Amino acid sequence: MKRRGMRDVAAAAGVSVSTVANVLNNPGVVAEGTRRRVEGAMAEIGFVRSAAARQLRGLPSRLVGSVTLDQSNPFYAELNRGIEDHLDEAGCMLLACSTDQRGDKELRVLQLLEEHSPRGVIITPTGANPGRLAAVSGRGTPVVLLDARQDGADLCAAAVDHVLGGRLAGEHLLGLGHRHIAFLTAGDDIEPVRERRAGLAAALEDAGAPPPVGVRAAEAGFSAGTDAAVSKLVHFDPKPTAVVCVNDIAALAVIRALQARGLRVPGDMSVVGYDDLPFAAHVRPALTTIARPIRALGRVAAELLLAEGPAGHRHRELMFAPRLVVRATTGRIG
Amino acid sequence: MKRRGMRDVAAAAGVSVSTVANVLNNPGVVAEGTRRRVEGAMAEIGFVRSAAARQLRGLPSRLVGSVTLDQSNPFYAELNRGIEDHLDEAGCMLLACSTDQRGDKELRVLQLLEEHSPRGVIITPTGANPGRLAAVSGRGTPVVLLDARQDGADLCAAAVDHVLGGRLAGEHLLGLGHRHIAFLTAGDDIEPVRERRAGLAAALEDAGAPPPVGVRAAEAGFSAGTDAAVSKLVHFDPKPTAVVCVNDIAALAVIRALQARGLRVPGDMSVVGYDDLPFAAHVRPALTTIARPIRALGRVAAELLLAEGPAGHRHRELMFAPRLVVRATTGRIG
DNA sequence: GTGAAAGCGCTAACAA
DNA sequence: TTGTTAGCGCTTTCAC
């Protein structure tokens, strides 16, 4: 069976294609009877409009690209859902791509996306392709940055104040008496991670504590890499009494690695996560973490995107404040 | 700045559009020098190929739809990633849609997808629109069912043997001495859920135990609905000593609701989840659950999809076996 | 090796 | 109120 177009509908209804076009785009102008006949024909032959043809004619696309580091990560999954929710209201759909924080993948994905001339692209940049997003934007595809600031160009952005996030973690720990605090990351640092470290460092400096020592795991999650990082962590001198982790998944892995070495959390080491994913409250000990409004972030990014007209938009940056959630993985020193 | 097409490239390189087309699609046939000149021009003016135009010409689309119940659910997020991984190898992209298990949303999403004439659609059907998928398939868009069998039409499917899954849960519990076992679902039952119940029922029947009692929560997750369901659960007579839940998220919510009532898991009630999501091993008590190879399921669905030629494909159904993972939420009765 | 031309399904401007 | 027509950017014969 083949796909039927407006031409077939026109034939079946005994009218011209422009009349069919009118019942689709301008129903008020078509005579009642004709309209019914055409609608009948459409139903009859199973007419499906061609988005490709409309796009070719220059109408706005209904596709929006979302480029995240990994859509299977609960954080980005939730984010995409926030985006989708808003797009849905506007009759648009989500093209979901993952880069695994690799510059080459990011390039491929942006290329493919651009070929489909989407309504816009929402992206958490890997940072490996500076200037590229400005180029995309310059070619007419609106770009909204997520968790990143201006890529040189002036693009819209939906961001979280990660400096504040890092600071909140630091001040909490300081308040519990910790002074030797580590910052654990996974993989290469992207901008939001550098900001968190900066916030943490600022809090420590303000309190006259030594700067945070950095530890890097090969990747977030349960692996030899995390184990090695934790091993390094506990052998620092002076030994840190607390570690703030780049996200909840890394934090959980760190906790398990610590426990595997016979160390107690928070007795021997306090641990702070980031994101407040749904599981954070339910692991044991329950995770102290920095929460941010994930779904709202996605929604806002989508709103920013759809608000960009083909021309004459002024670029805006929306900033969310994260918030500390104290649970059971942090405790008073001693 | 505007978008440049092959016409602009041709002008810039001083050749005709068909020569540009040749360097794109048939580079071997173009003279070395010409090719370089054209490629230079493409880079120069920032040429981006139009997918819409190619599609209009009848070339295969590089878009694949994925319709899940909720892409923010870790299960579907992981599934989508499996799909994406395979699509990526084939140069295709994922259109990710959620239905929230609502028939009307499913309809809207399928409509939008079809308009974009995707290479195919992978779907976990809500069950609310019988025959619709067959229609889509009939119109030329390959459909791969996920977690569902033939919709009347003969469609490809990547499935899990949920009857076996239910049976595994039942036999495990029976082996621990349980005889009064409940089955807790959330929202309306879709086919895979009915299959799990059937498997559980069969196991109980084989052992001469009474059939499972059903409890329904308004939705999976932490909510008054789950609380109410748990309240119903513990007031059954005879009171069940074990409950198998529709998925890990529901199981966790049930455990917390049970604990909130002062009941102990597994002391007073054993609980079995389904899916073995990453958090299952890390909540406390750690979840006994039925695992299935989620990412592989997505990969296989994508493979099935891309393998369907425009014609002459024979529809195949691939079935995965789930497996019992015993942890700490189930215990011997007593 | 390269170019001219037709047409995919649709929209929009204009004619009737 | 309805019909005619000219492309949108590309692929694809077929001539040169």
DSSP string of B64-120, one letter each residue: EEEEES-TTSHHHHHHHHHHHHHHHHTT-EEEEEE-TT-HHHHHHHHHHHHHT--SE
Of A283, A289, A287, nearest to A329 (Cα)? A287
User: What's the mean pLDDT in A237-250?
Assistant: 96
**Closest alpha carbon to A155 in A322, A21, A301, A289:** A301
Nearest C-alpha neighbor of A300 from the set A158, A199, A96:
A158
Taking a C-beta distance cutoff of 8 angstroms, is the pair A123, A133 a contact? yes
- pLDDT in the model for residue B3: 87
How confident is the model at residue B316, as a pLDDT? 86
Assess contact for B27 and B3: CB atoms under 8 A.
no
Q: Gap from B4 CA to D16 C1', in Å?
A: 29
Of the candidates A72, A139, A252, the beta carbon closest to that of B48 is on A139
What tens digit of pLDDT does each residue of B276-299 get? 999 999 999 999 999 999 999 999
pTM (global) more than 0.85? yes
- Which whole-number Å values give the CA distances from A135 to A103, A118, A152, in the listed order? 16, 15, 10
**Residue A313 confidence (pLDDT):** 67
| Residue A235 CB contacts under 8 Å (≥ 6 apart), including other chains | none
Domain A63-159+294-320 matching CATH 3.30.1330.40: the answer reads no
Q: Which of residues 280-319 of A touch strand D (CB under 7 A)?
A: none
Q: Which of B52, B112, B114 sits opposite A55 (nearest CB)?
A: B52
* pLDDT, tens only, A199-229: 999 999 999 999 999 999 987 778 888 999 9
Q: Which residue type occupies B333?
A: I
Of A153, A116, A159, which Cα lies nearest the Cα of A132? Answer: A153
| Strand order through the sheet with A63-68 | A317-320, A156-160, A143-146, A120-123, A63-68, A93-98, B93-98, B63-68, B120-123, B143-146, B156-160, B317-320
Fold category of A162-292 in CATH: Rossmann fold (3.40.50)
The helix/strand/coil state of B267 is coil
Residue segments in chain B with a per-residue pLDDT below the cut of 70: 1, 150-153, 310-313
- Say if residue B183 is exposed, middle or buried (CB neighbours under 10 Å; 0-12, 13-18, 19+): buried
Q: What is the pLDDT of residue B219?
A: 79
pLDDT of residue A202: 98
Q: Residue A95 and residue B91: Cβ atoms within 8 Å? A: no
Within A 13-52, residues with CB less than 7 Å from strand D: 15-19, 22, 29-31, 33-35
Residues ≥6 apart with Cβ < 8 Å to B59: none
Other Cβ atoms closer than 10 A to A40: 13
For residue A123, the SS3 value is: strand
**Bigger pLDDT: A3 or B100?**
B100
- Residues B3, A140: C-beta atoms closer than 8 Å: yes
Banded model confidence at residue A316, pLDDT cuts 50, 70, 90: confident
pLDDT attached to residue A219: 79
A289 touches chain B (CB under 8 A): no
Nearest-CA distance B304 → chain A (Å): 20
Query: Within 10 Å of residue B29's Cβ, how many Cβ atoms?
Result: 10
Nearest to A13 by CA among A32, A35, A46: A35
Q: What are the residue ranges of CATH 3.40.50.2300 in chain A?
A: 63-159+294-320, 162-292
What span, in angstroms and rounded, lies between the C-alpha atoms of B318 and B146? 10
CA distance B216 to B228: 9
Residue B17, CB, strand C, below 7 Å: yes
State the helix-helix crossing angle for A74-89 and B74-89, rounded to 10 degrees.
90
Q: Considering chain A, what percentage of its residues have pLDDT values greater than 70?
A: 97
Partner A contacted by B59 (CB < 8 A): no
The answer for A 110-149 residues in CB contact with B (under 8 A) is 111-117, 135, 138-140
The predicted pLDDT at position A188 comes to 83
pLDDT in tens, A122-165: 999 999 999 999 999 999 999 999 988 766 668 999 999 999 99
pLDDT tens sequence across A164-189: 999 999 999 999 999 999 999 998 88
pLDDT of residue A297: 97
- pLDDT for the residue numbered B188: 83
pLDDT at B152: 65
Helix (H, G, I), strand (E, B) or coil at A248: helix
> Average of pLDDT values for A230-239?
94
